[in-house]
A and B are shown apart, each in its own frame.
Chain A
Amino acid sequence: MKSDVVIEFRHVYKRYRLYRSQKHRLIGIFTKRVKYREVFANRDLTFEIRRGESVAIFGKNGAGKSTMLKMITGVAFPSSGHIKVDGRVSALLELTAGFDPEFTGRENVQLRGQLWGLDKEEILDLEKEVVDFADIGVYMDQPMRTYSSGMKARVGFAISASINPEILVVDEALSVGDKAFREKCDLKIKEIMAKENVTVIFVTHSSASAERVCNRGIVLEKGKLAFDGPIRAAIEYYEGPQEQSVLSS
């Protein structure tokens, strides 16, 4: 039996070092005597997310949402603090990325299947599922560098949604693509969420959709955790001061 807490952040800091130049960065690897400026993308983040919860993350640009998500997905590492993630993470963020531009959509799907360690049959299944869902026709066999951002997003979403995630990270980048595809994605996300014990992290500026999907909200401000509580209260906290701007479209 797995533990109930699937994501745990304890005093997590993420620090970026800004050097004056590339040369300084290179020398800085070997000696501590090179000067640099430090910026903190995340400061002292401490929270727990339990199995089956769906949590909305609010925050302005630069509040540290992306950095936090990257650490949850395991591509970035905290400068200090403790992160624990227990479960298959599928990230629907930056949907246009994670592909080799030289390879076709189909080859990229196969490549991803191989990276995940799937066997031949599973890769064939994956391929079929992605081709059906992405629905981009003959472009599936063209190099991905020729894709429009909408097409990349389609393939990206189809792949991420097809690995049966235990922890689903959805970024608002989903707004790429036309209305019909967005609705298809919404349906798929709901289908995944309807399964038992799937944890969802939903990053958005739209409080309306967050309220539909989530029961808890976390607000980040300048890298710090500013609010953590029920979704309604989080929305009020987030939207309170700056009355109805473009954010609540």
Chain B
Amino acid sequence: MAQVSQPPLDLLAIRTKRYGATLLDIVREHKEYWRQIFQLAAVDLIKTYRGSALGWLWAVIKPTVTIFVYWFAFSVGLRASKDVGGFPFFLWLLAGIIPWFYIQEMLTQGSTNFKRYDYLVTKIRFPVSTISTFVSLSKMYVHLALLMIVVVIFVLFGYPVDVYFLQLPLYVALMFVFFTLWSMFASLLSAMSKDFANVVNSFVTAIFWVSGIMWDVNLIDSPILSKVLAFNPVTFLATGFRNVFIYKRWFFEDTFALAAFAIMLVGMFGLALFTFHRLRRDIADVL
């Protein structure tokens, strides 16, 4: 028979915790369960793409169709497809929209984690803080695959990998951390109330159009507006990917944007910790 190790349960400790202790808990749970996190990320991938004839291909088909539709609408329909920085509009679009597919998945699916994995919360003893992490990781696998395809496309178009690509892992990591925290925050709230999930869903399209994925944020006239926009993490990330592929700029060149993103990241961290601390004990009762 298998020997399953289970640390003793001491619920008084959980009861009287402070925020610092909650944070330590989250770190400890990730440390103890890192193997399971990777396994569950794979499980999540299978769960997402299982049951359709084309399976994995959907991970590529959906973004391809989206990109084609936008490209068609902008370059054929609106005739608004000028070259940017010597790059064809299509490549410029590609560079900025590729992080959006991950972001979109995290905004929508990432906020329903506890519904998708309710059995991990209500039926077995499982460190629920890791759920957002493995879901985010699973979406990240798809993102990395898409990113690789994009790099290949750039090379095929005759734009080889250069030194600016070194900062790509940084942007990917920042995106991963930010939206994993978001997912922890949002899935707790949407487990508590359906209203929250609806709010998120109705804002996804708005976020997409407001964040400068389809238009060049560098062309904004108003300095105030561009400062305000810098506080939008989606803008920071989309611009960051374009810094790598198109603009050939370093992440530290725009210190204001970097600082603004850092503030938002700390804010999201605070929100995630606050909600987790407040709701971790109640979550099994409301699911």
Taking Cβ atoms with an 8 Å cutoff, the residues of A that contact B are 16, 22-23, 25-26, 29, 70-71, 73-78, 80-89, 94, 97-100, 102-103, 111-118, 122, 125-126, 129, 162-164
Contacts and interface: CB of A to CB of B under 8 A. Distances in A.
Q: Which 9 A-B pairs have the closest CB atoms?
A: A98-B123, A26-B193, A74-B125, A77-B281, A164-B1, A83-B11, A85-B9, A82-B12, A116-B4
Contacts of A117: 4-5, 33, 35-36
16 contacts: A26-B195, A26-B196, A73-B125, A75-B124, A78-B11, A80-B15, A84-B8, A88-B5, A94-B123, A97-B119, A97-B123, A102-B51, A117-B33, A117-B35, A118-B4, A163-B4
A113 B36 CA distance: 10
Contact of A29 (B1, B10, B33, B279): B279
B282 to A, nearest CB: 8
B122 interface: yes
Interface stretch (B39-47, B78-86, B135-143, B243-251): B39-47
A70 B3 CA distance: 22
Contacts of A84: 8-12
A81 B15 CA distance: 8
Contact of A164 (B3, B51, B193, B195): B3
B10 to A, nearest CB: 6
Contacts of B193: 22-23, 25-26
Nearest to B194: A22
A71 B11 contact: yes
A75 B122 contact: yes
A223 B120 CA distance: 26
Contacts of B196: 26
A81 B281 CA distance: 14
Nearest to B39: A114
B123 A75 contact: yes
Contacts of A94: 123
A248 B35 CA distance: 48
A75 B121 contact: yes
Interface in B1-27: 1-6, 8-12, 14-15
B125 A163 contact: no
B200 interface: no
Interface string B35-62: 1100110010001001100000000000
B275 interface: yes
Nearest to A113: B2
B19 to A, nearest CB: 15
Contacts of A111: 43
Contact of A86 (B5, B8, B11, B126): B8
Interface in B81-126: 119-126
A114 B2 contact: no
Contacts of B36: 114-115, 117
A89 B11 CA distance: 15
Contact of B192 (A26, A74, A118): A26
Chain B interface size band reads 35 or more
Contacts of B279: 29
A18 B276 CA distance: 20
Interface in B238-287: 275, 278-281, 284-286
Contacts of A74: 9, 125
A167 to B, nearest CB: 10
Nearest to A114: B39
Nearest to B124: A98
A51 B11 CA distance: 19
Contacts of A70: 284
Given A85-B8, A102-B51, A163 B1 contact: yes
A228 B188 CA distance: 38
B189 interface: yes
A83 B16 CA distance: 13
B4 A25 contact: no
Given A85-B8, A99-B119, 20 more contacts: A22-B192, A23-B193, A29-B189, A29-B278, A71-B11, A75-B125, A75-B284, A76-B284, A77-B14, A84-B10, A88-B6, A102-B51, A113-B2, A114-B43, A115-B40, A116-B2, A117-B5, A118-B2, A118-B4, A162-B2
B47 A103 contact: yes
A94 B123 CA distance: 8
Nearest to A163: B4
Contacts of A102: 47, 50-51
A118 B2 CA distance: 8
A25 B192 CA distance: 7
A49 B12 CA distance: 17
Contacts of B120: 115
A87 B125 CA distance: 13
A102 B50 CA distance: 8
Nearest to B38: A114
A57 B238 CA distance: 58
Nearest to B126: A115
Nearest to A82: B12
